[in-house]
Amino acid sequence: MDALQGVELCYPQLPNSSCRGSPRPRPGAALLSTLLSSVTLLTVALNLLVIISISHFRQLHTPTNLLLLSLATSDLLVGLLVMPLETVRLTVTCWLLGDLMCILSYVIGFTLTSASVGNMVLISTDRYVAICHPLQYPNKITCSRVERSVCLCWACSLLYNGLLLKDHLRHPDRQSSCYGECLVVINYVPGAVDLVFTFFGPCSVILALYVRVFVVAVSQARAMRSHIAAVAGGSVIVTAKKSEKKAARTLGVVILVFLMTFCPYYYPSLAGQDIKNSASSWPIVSWLLYFNSCVNPLIYAFFYPWFRKAIKFIVTLKILEQDSSHASIL
């Protein structure tokens, strides 16, 4: 009897088949809920600003910004659809939304995360072509090609994650032992496949493209520095070195954040284990994964001067003025 003290039935009307949950201390649950809700609101606000900026201002309708728009859309949906459910899942021990909603929440979360990773690969490809093949960029990277690539990215993400969780979709309660439990288990074999397609593959492409971009950018900077130095003396060496350091720092942040947020999630697959949302480390691992959606707009948008200028237009409501979409942002 002592072991059952402080334990409540998730469904009191089903005493024989209901799970038992230990409610978290109220002050701790309230603090945790407030913190996670703040992260959710920040994620939604930042990505919404990116979406409004790119959609409204005509100068920003470029292939590169279409990719940023797609990335911001996936991250916005993570903030709207996934983070609130994860907050409830973390602060309330009983799942009260049913087995089907449990699986759908993971299908949506995995799909949006995959779409976000796919968009990052497309952005890396765009930057590679722009810097390594600048003369061919206007012909190779067009708005129509980017739109088709983005649609393909989203379709593949939905299809892939639907196949990954197809058994759970057919039998939503296949892993649950009682009512009030939301349990999803990805076995080692599909987990290893997911590791390759969602982590190793995209990560290898991003690293390879960014290393190539960095090498070309550094060589271009050195060539320009040598040319200017031959004309005006050696006074520009410091400036060139600063630009090289800035490029290295920016690319390093992109890669580091991606690895930091995705590595913990795939650790069980790397260790030859099943991925279970019932593991004690799951809340931290999942929130690290979704926190990437909050960091993405900071990395990919705040480095652009036009974004800061667009924010001023939005905050001061100048965006509501007539012909504001034709304003000079760049």
Cβ 8 vs Cβ 93: under 8 Å: no
Which DSSP helix (H) or strand (E) runs through 120?
helix 99-132
**Residue 110: closest CA among 136, 74, 135:** 74
First to last CA, the chain: 69
What is the predicted pLDDT for the residue at 152?
95
Residues 288, 292: Cα–Cα separation, whole Å: 7
Q: What are phi and psi of 177, to 5 degrees?
A: -100, -10
**pLDDT tens column, 296-310:** 888 766 677 788 888
Judged by DSSP in three states, 146 sits in helix
What is the predicted pLDDT for the residue at 244?
47
Handedness of CA 135, 140, 144, 147 (dihedral sign): negative
Cβ 147 vs Cβ 119: under 8 Å: no
Residues 154, 162: Cα–Cα separation, whole Å: 12
Residues 156, 150: Cα–Cα separation, whole Å: 10
pLDDT at residue 123 tops 60: yes
**pLDDT tens column, 276-325:** 555 556 777 788 888 888 888 887 666 777 888 888 888 888 888 888 88
What is the predicted pLDDT for the residue at 237?
43
Which residue type occupies 3?
Answer: A
**pLDDT tens column, 147-160:** 999 999 999 999 98
For each of the domains in the chain, give its residue range(s) and CATH number, in order of start.
Answer: 26-187+278-326 (1.20.1070.10)
Going by pLDDT thresholds of 50, 70 and 90, the confidence category of residue 127 is confident
Average confidence score pLDDT of the chain: 77
For the chain, how many residues are written?
Answer: 330
What is the predicted pLDDT for the residue at 5?
47
Cβ 247 vs Cβ 218: under 8 Å: yes
Cβ 230 vs Cβ 182: under 8 Å: no
Q: What are phi and psi of 246, to 5 degrees?
A: -65, -40
Residues 94, 11: Cα–Cα separation, whole Å: 9
What is the predicted pLDDT for the residue at 174?
64
User: Mean pLDDT over residues 225-241, rounded?
Assistant: 54
Q: Which two tokens stand for residue 106?
A: 């993971």
Handedness of CA 214, 216, 220, 226 (dihedral sign): positive
**pLDDT tens column, 50-94:** 899 899 888 888 898 898 899 899 999 999 998 998 888 777 777
Which DSSP helix (H) or strand (E) runs through 224?
helix 201-232
Q: How far is CA 285 from CA 135, 175, 194, in A?
A: 43, 20, 16
Going by pLDDT thresholds of 50, 70 and 90, the confidence category of residue 273 is low
pLDDT at residue 239 tops 60: no
